[in-house]
Chains A and B, each alone.
Chain A
Amino acid sequence: MPYNVLIVDDSKTIRSIIIKTLKLTKLDIGEIYEAANGKEGLECIQNHRVHVILSDLNMPVMSGLEMVSTMAEDGILNDIPVIVVSTDGSTRRIEELKRKGVREYIRKPFTPEGIGEAIDRVLGVKHE
């Protein structure tokens, strides 16, 4: 089954890099949607079927953490797992994100393997 992915990042460059990286993984990727902040991300998941979200933390308008909190309040965080992709390497930050319901954390710079394995884990994908 192809997986639809939403990328939430205010940097067009990073969104483009993640799209290219996704195409290098073994994953069966369907649609790839892009959003420049958490608000746009929330609008996207209202209008499209999204299986997994890759999100930055620091963004204008609405941060990644605010988006995750809204998703938790709306009861959709269990249905659409969020993987945070960020420069922040603090273990305290990662623990806070996990407590808020973020399923995986990928630190920049990332590799196709890192992205692929994180998506596999949150979606329970098994490769033959």
Chain B
Amino acid sequence: MSENEYKDITLRTVMEVLEQTAFVFPEPADMIDGVSFDDLKFIMVTLGFTGDKQGRVKMILATDFCAELAANLLGEELDETLPEENNYDSAKEMLNIISGQLLTRIFGDEALFSLSAPDVEPIASEKLFSLIDSADYALCMVDEYPVITMFALEEARSNEHQSIGS
């Protein structure tokens, strides 16, 4: 499978899961189209997988989008008074569902994996830009919010990270 095919599957999976579970309608995007990161704070959700292959799936989301995600998932009105941490559970669950779907689509129904509990951390702009400069990612926009997803396989023995398709 080529690098582009991995990226296409990742993008399609993210968009479909967001549509089906959170009832938002993402659009594929490209950084060269001038995506704005201004005035947004971001978190990075990371999930590791082991089994027939091992690696990580990372998703970078705006904290404001996490609040919308939580409200949509729960079918409730957006409550901006809730602490941000309350919304992170929704982002973690979203990545969990995306990762499950992604692994089956890439490696087939027979492949067996164990998924770790997703971790959430705030991510500063410098680290965000450094990450997207150094790794392959799938990007889509939900309204003004960028959603960046990275899928990376790791070598089981050496523990070295390997970019998708490489």
Chain A residues engaging chain B, CB cutoff 8 angstroms:
10-14, 16-17, 20, 58, 60, 86-93, 107-109
Contact = CB atoms under 8 A, between A and B. Distances in A.
Given A17-B74, A108-B96, 11 more contacts: A12-B89, A13-B73, A13-B74, A14-B93, A58-B117, A87-B97, A87-B115, A89-B101, A91-B110, A92-B112, A109-B97
A118 B101 CA distance: 20
Given A58-B117, A93-B112, A11 B92 contact: yes
Contacts of B109: 89-91
Given A13-B70, A13-B74, A87 B112 contact: no
Contacts, number: 57
Contacts of B97: 87, 108-109
B34 interface: no
A90 B90 CA distance: 23
Given A20-B75, A87-B100, A93-B112, A109 B117 contact: no
Contact of B96 (A60, A87, A92): A87
B89 A88 contact: no
Contacts of A86: 100
Nearest to A24: B75
A34 to B, nearest CB: 14
Contacts of B117: 10, 58, 60
A5 B93 CA distance: 22
A90 B109 CA distance: 5
Contact of A87 (B73, B75, B101): B101
A90 B110 contact: yes
A122 to B, nearest CB: 22
A11 B93 contact: yes
B11 to A, nearest CB: 17
24 contacts: A11-B93, A11-B96, A12-B89, A14-B93, A16-B74, A17-B74, A20-B74, A20-B75, A58-B114, A58-B117, A86-B100, A87-B97, A87-B101, A87-B115, A89-B103, A90-B104, A90-B109, A90-B111, A90-B113, A91-B110, A92-B112, A107-B100, A108-B21, A109-B20
Nearest to B21: A109
A105 B103 CA distance: 18
B48 to A, nearest CB: 12
Contacts of A20: 74-75
